[in-house]
Amino acid sequence: MINYSDQMNLFELVANKLNVSIECWAFGGTAMMFYGYKDDTKDIDLLFEKETQRKAFITAIEKLGFAKTSPINIYIPEKLRDKGKPLMFQRGDFRFDLFSQEIFQTKLSQKMKEDKFAVHEFKGKCTLKVNVLRKEHIVQLKAITERDRDFEDILSIIKKDKRFDWQYLIDDVIWQSKHGDSWAALDVEKMMKELKKYVIIEQKYFDQLYKGRRLYKEHKNI
């Protein structure tokens, strides 16, 4: 497992190995540790807006002894057919899950870029800028990745933060559906149905998700 100190040290080491300054977006357990929602994580989840930046990051971590590994048995097979699947690199108990431009079919929306929770800059040979997505996007993306313990993390966020903005999340899911994401509305709806066993979620949010699925079908003309 990777704790907060491990994560910060790793980012500093990467900055010292980079040949060019780059920017990425933290989500998953990585972002949750920046919030203080959890103490450790199985992997460091990062999204790069440009493939060139992901390649630069990979070059740096390979210098640190990380080697490519398979995402099989981590993500469901249906999603691993998407072009937006991650490249995974591991060294011992430390693992990076690196996405480029999209997480399966979910894109980096303008709201994600504008409404980030925090920014951390690690300065070494070059600068590694890590943007932390806000909590609603963390929940949204955990619903989409569907890995072991993702639902536990979602429930932990919802229970710990009474200011969770369901409308904000739903608005972005609908945007994703309008832009061709076939997973977003289905996955978030599935997650919300399971969450209803533990917390109150208004019906209007489910109704809006059904609308999002219709928008995806209209986009695809099916």
Name which of 46, 52, 2, 56 is nearest 24 in CA terms. Answer: 46
Q: What is the pLDDT of residue 222?
A: 47
Residues of the chain with pLDDT under 50: 222
* pTM of the shown model: 0.92
pLDDT score for 178: 86
Q: Phi/psi of residue 131, each to 5°?
A: -90, 135
DSSP characters for 73-125? TTB-TTGGGSTTPPEEEEETTEEEEEEESEETTEE--HHHHHT-SEEEEEESS
**CATH code for 2-162?**
3.30.460.40
Q: Which two tokens stand for residue 153?
A: 């993390």
Q: What confidence score (pLDDT) does residue 221 get?
A: 57
What are the pLDDT digits (tens) for 6-65? 999 999 999 999 999 999 999 999 999 999 999 999 899 999 999 999 999 999 999 999
Give residue limits of the domains in the chain: 2-162
